[in-house]
């Protein structure tokens, strides 16, 4: 049986396709050799456990260290019961050691100790009995909270000076966030730990990154080598573009194509298969994407994403903790400008926020398909303006992502009427006050050849105290159409000034000419 693309839990050698661990965290070995205590952090389902488990296995197999990965998840239930949480963690250490370590490297019986010293006493006894230096990878450290987290971090600091003979030589704490955030998880008062950092023995913080383009190609190439089924270069490039290399998405797209779409092994996997898989993943709202969507209601997430969705200037310092928080969660890209981490996340964010709009749209998507199979954009714009005149003021009067409310109304309407027949690509121009949309509508003509209709829209908002965005919008739309090599487009201007004319009076569809001489459909709403 061939290996498979894994989307649930750590990857298993020989069963799942895997990127080599050493390539993903190359700095870790050097820190272990320096007897360093360090932090590894990354968003969920990025491959932290898979990578550290493989690294522990390699370190032990080399014969120099006794290395073990264990999880603190079992201590989650005891936020302030230090003794119970410590015993739960020690049980996991013993169970994992019995499972993966040779008998001479396993821990002795744990010694008796006060509840606040159980961990330091146990690790000291193990380090003294073990014939090799101990290396511990403490997974899910952020599952611990309150006094329990404080106690674990404090005990590691207490034992640190005894390394390597009387305490683990190297320890890595692994979780979602960097160590700077452990204070908040432990209660938020740094004085309770006696330092501004709860883990000031840390030598370095490592962030496990997304797959590189070469790693995605290698992973997909493993499937080709085992089954003979080729991913076309265009399909791989599109997968890299859609996922941004996010490991779960990379595996999920491929799994959707291979197992759910069940493309026969004798057929190559094409860009169309990848597009279908992307849509199915978003619509299915798998656990990974659902957990992402659940974050959107958090105030600190809204504070960053609201202006991003609206294309407004982001009045937040580059080192603002909310930006760091979203980067650590994997919601936004690691490098400026602030934007969704990848196109799939961008699509999920919009569809979740616009879902209440879609449910209000009663239009039949089939009614927007012309007899020749093309998409009827003028009909869509006409019906949207009717929808906007009836529901726009109510839908934009709520506080939820109010900065981007008009854009979300249009995107929700558009997604409903395009659903099933085509695709909507979105771009947010941070600081430009615009949102760009591209409708891609595949259709087949009478001779059986496949064609792709493309329609570009730019959305602008006219706010109080600002000039009419028409001129800037036309100029920006020209640039967008130049990139797409299109001759015409649509500019939508939402008037959100408090003293604007009545919505029924101001909502109108006309045409205008752009600075480049293009005929542009202008929607004022």
Which residues share a beta bridge with 442? Answer: 452
Domain parsing of the chain, residue ranges: 21-207, 213-284, 290-524
Report the alpha-carbon angle 176-177-181, nearest 5: 145
**Distance separating alpha carbons of residues 160 and 168, to the nearest angstrom:** 8
Strands 519-524, 508-513: pairing is antiparallel
Q: What is the pLDDT of residues 362-376, one digit of tens each?
A: 888 999 999 999 999
CA atoms within 13 A on the CB side of 114: 4
pTM: 0.84
> Which of 425, 444, 430 shows the shortest CA–CA distance to 484?
425
**Distance separating alpha carbons of residues 441 and 364, to the nearest angstrom:** 17
Instruction: Measure Cα distances from 98 to 157, 238, 241 in Å.
Output: 26, 44, 43
The domain 21-207 is placed in CATH, from the list 3.90.1150.10, 3.50.30.10, 3.40.1710.10, 3.40.50.300, at 3.40.50.300
- pLDDT tens across the length of the chain (525 residues): 689 999 988 999 899 999 987 788 999 999 999 999 999 998 888 999 999 999 999 999 999 999 999 999 999 888 779 999 999 999 999 999 999 999 999 999 999 999 999 999 999 999 999 999 999 999 999 889 888 998 999 999 999 999 999 999 999 999 887 765 554 444 444 334 444 455 677 888 898 999 999 999 999 999 999 999 999 999 999 999 999 999 999 999 999 999 999 999 999 999 999 999 999 998 887 778 888 888 898 999 999 998 888 877 777 776 678 888 898 888 999 888 888 999 999 989 988 888 878 878 888 899 999 999 999 999 999 999 999 999 988 888 776 788 889 999 999 999 999 987 899 998 876 667 788 999 999 999 988 899 999 999 999 999 999 999 999 999 999 999 999 999 999 999 999 999 999 999 999 999 999 999 999 999 999
Structure tokens at 433: 């006050």
**Distance separating alpha carbons of residues 185 and 188, to the nearest angstrom:** 7
**Distance separating alpha carbons of residues 170 and 133, to the nearest angstrom:** 8
CA-based torsion, 401, 402, 407, 409: positive or negative = positive
Fold of 213-284: Helicase, Ruva Protein; domain 3 (1.10.8)
């Amino acid at each position: 049986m061939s290996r498979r693309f894994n989307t649930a839990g750590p990857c298993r050698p020989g069963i799942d396709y895997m990127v080599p661990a050493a390539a993903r965290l190359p700095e870790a070995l050097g820190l272990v050799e320096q007897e360093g205590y360090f932090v590894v952090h990354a968003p969920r389902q990025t491959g932290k456990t898979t990578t550290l488990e493989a690294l522990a296995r390699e370190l032990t197999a080399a014969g120099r260290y006794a290395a073990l990965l264990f999880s603190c998840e079992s201590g989650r239930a005891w936020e302030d019961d230090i003794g119970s949480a410590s015993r739960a963690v020690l049980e996991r250490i013993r169970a994992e050691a019995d499972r993966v370590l040779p008998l001479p490297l396993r821990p002795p019986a744990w010694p008796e100790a006060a509840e606040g010293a159980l961990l330091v006493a146990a690790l000291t006894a193990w380090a003294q009995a073990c014939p090799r230096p101990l290396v511990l990878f403490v997974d899910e450290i952020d599952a611990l909270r309150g006094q329990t987290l404080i106690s674990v971090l404090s005990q590691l600091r207490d034992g640190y000076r005894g390394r390597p003979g009387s305490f683990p030589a190297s320890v890595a704490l692994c979780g979602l966030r960097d160590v700077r955030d452990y204070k908040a998880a432990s209660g938020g008062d740094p004085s309770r730990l006696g330092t501004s950092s709860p883990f000031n023995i840390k030598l370095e913080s490592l962030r496990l990154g997304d797959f590189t383009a070469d790693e995605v190609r290698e992973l997909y190439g493993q499937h080709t080598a085992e089954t003979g089924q080729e991913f076309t270069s265009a399909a791989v490039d599109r997968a890299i573009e859609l996922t941004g290399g996010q490991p779960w998405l990379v595996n999920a797209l491929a799994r959707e194509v291979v197992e759910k779409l069940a493309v026969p092994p004798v057929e190559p996997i094409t860009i169309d298969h990848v597009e279908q898989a992307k849509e199915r993943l978003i619509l299915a709202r798998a656990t990974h994407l659902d957990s992402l969507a659940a974050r959107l209601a958090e105030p600190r997430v809204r504070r960053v994403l609201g202006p991003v969705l609206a294309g407004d200037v982001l009045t937040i310092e580059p080192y603002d903790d909310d930006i760091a928080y979203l980067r650590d969660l994997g919601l936004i890209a690691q490098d400026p400008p602030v934007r969704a981490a990848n196109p799939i996340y961008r699509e999920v964010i919009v569809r979740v926020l616009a879902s209440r709009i879609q449910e209000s749209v009663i239009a039949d998507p089939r009614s927007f398909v012309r007899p020749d199979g093309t998409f009827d954009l003028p009909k869509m714009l006409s019906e949207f303006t009717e929808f906007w005149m009836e529901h726009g003021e109510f839908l934009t009067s709520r506080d939820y992502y109010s900065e981007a409310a008009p854009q979300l109304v249009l995107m929700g309407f558009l997604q409903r009427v395009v659903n099933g027949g085509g695709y909507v690509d979105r771009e947010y121009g941070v600081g430009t006050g615009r949102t760009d949309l591209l409708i891609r509508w595949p259709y087949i003509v009478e001779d059986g050849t496949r064609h792709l209709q493309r329609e570009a829209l730019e959305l602008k908002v006219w706010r109080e105290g600002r000039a009419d965005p028409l001129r800037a919008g036309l100029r920006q739309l020209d640039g967008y159409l130049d990139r797409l090599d299109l001759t015409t487009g649509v500019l939508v201007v939402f008037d959100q000034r408090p003293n604007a004319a009545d919505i029924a009076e101001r909502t109108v569809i006309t045409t205008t000419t752009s600075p480049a001489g293009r005929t542009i459909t202008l929607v004022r709403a």
